[in-house]
């Protein structure tokens, strides 16, 4: 993994240093919730291209959070997620709920499927 990233995620010098998902965002067709915190290391300038590139994206910035809004503002965070699922028609969808639950328990597992 280090060869791909480089020194670390803040100093990309590896083989992925010029890779970007931004040109592919238009292919995302499902409702997408994008969250960040007002004091997040993932600043608005990083989130804005996702919001503008994904057709059905909703972006919410949690005002009293950094990068762990589900711990810092749990009531507000889960209200936002619940409202998003309901508005997207996914509220009663057990598969969608399972995806959310699995992601919340292990967000990286889906990225590293073999």
Q: pLDDT grade, residue 112 (50/70/90)?
A: very low
Is 102's pLDDT higher than 60?
Answer: no
Q: Is residue 101 part of a domain?
A: yes
User: Band of the pLDDT at 94, cuts 50, 70, 90?
Assistant: low
Q: Cα separations (Å) of 111 from 3, 29, 69, 82, 103?
A: 18, 19, 21, 23, 10
Where in the sequence is the domain holding 95, given as residue range(s)?
Answer: 30-112
pTM: 0.72
Q: What is the count of structural domains for the chain?
A: 1
Instruction: Report the alpha-carbon distance of residue 103 to residue 99 in Å, rounded.
Output: 6
Average pLDDT over residues 32-42: 94
The mean pLDDT of 81-109, rounded to a whole number, is 66
């Amino acid at each position: 993994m280090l060869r791909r990233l480089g020194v670390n995620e803040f100093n990309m010098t590896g083989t992925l240093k010029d890779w970007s998902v931004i040109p592919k965002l238009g292919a995302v067709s499902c409702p997408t919730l994008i969250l960040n915190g007002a004091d997040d290391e993932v600043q608005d300038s990083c989130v804005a291209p996702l919001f503008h590139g994904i057709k059905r994206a909703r972006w919410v910035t949690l005002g009293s959070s950094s990068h762990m809004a589900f711990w810092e503002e749990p009531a507000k965070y889960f209200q936002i997620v619940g409202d998003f699922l309901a508005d997207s028609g996914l509220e009663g969808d057990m598969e969608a709920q399972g995806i959310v639950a699995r992601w919340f328990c292990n967000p990286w597992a889906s990225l590293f499927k073999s």
